[in-house]
Amino acid sequence: MYKVYGMSISGNCYKVRLLLEQLEEHYEWHEINLLKGETLTPAFLAMNPAGQVPILEIGPKKYLVESNAILCYLAEGTPYLTDNPYLRAQTLSWLFWEQYSHERYIAVARFIKHILPAGNDRLAEIPVLHEGGYRALDIIEQHLSKNDYFVTNTYSIADISLYAYTHCAAEGGFELGKYESVKAWMQRIESQPGFREL
């Protein structure tokens, strides 16, 4: 049985849990609180030297890290990841883009405003994070104005990955009001079989 080492409030960890539920896989959840330094213990760093959650344990001492890599591993051979080479590559493109151009702004703004203590020093980063985050929201709005889902017009791990932090962007101070296509897409995600909230 899979074990997941994750922090429940983290969108990156939620991605893994959502897909496991939708695949009806059994798993054990091990709660890790990074605010208490639990990702920096020797035992944790032996699993992931980068000190990050989530980690998926697939067997004795066999660990996978990086949320989007875990999604690809779990989705292989399922309807959540196409085996068409061009469309697989498009899926990966969105996954890489999510980490580099979306999560790094939208998730980090949420972490600072919603998870760190009120009045923390990192609030000074918010204007730059909002600038990058709105740029990312504009790009997904443009794509979703012409497509129901990110790849192949079918729900896939690209949607799971991008939903994880888009749906809670307001907790990072983002206004989603004008993003009509994004809001309609989120409703489509939330009506998928096996959907669970963060």
User: Based on CB atoms, which residue is closest to its own copies, 134 or 192?
Assistant: 134
User: Based on CB atoms, which residue is closest to its own copies, 36 or 61?
Assistant: 61
Stretch of 35-43, 57-65, 164-172, 187-195 lying at the interface with its own copies (CB under 8 A)? 57-65
* CB 121, min distance to its own copies, A: 13
Stretch of 13-21, 90-98, 148-156, 178-186 lying at the interface with its own copies (CB under 8 A)? 90-98
Scanning residues 115 to 154, which ones bind its own copies (CB under 8 A)? 139, 142-143
Tell which one of 35, 40, 46, 89 touches its own copies (CB under 8 A).
Answer: 89
- How many residues in total does the chain contain? 198
Tell which one of 23, 34, 47, 65 touches its own copies (CB under 8 A).
Answer: 65
C-alpha neighbours within 13 Å on the C-beta side of residue 27: 23
* CB 37, min distance to its own copies, A: 16
* CB 98, min distance to its own copies, A: 10
Note whether 181 binds its own copies by CB under 8 A: no
* CA pseudo-torsion sign 26, 28, 31, 37: negative
In degrees to the nearest 10, what's the CA dihedral of 124, 179, 163, 165? Answer: 10
User: Based on CB atoms, which residue is closest to its own copies, 33 or 142?
Assistant: 142
Interaction site with its own copies (CB under 8 A):
49-50, 58, 62, 64-70, 72-73, 76, 85-86, 88-90, 92-93, 95-97, 99-101, 103-104, 139, 142-143
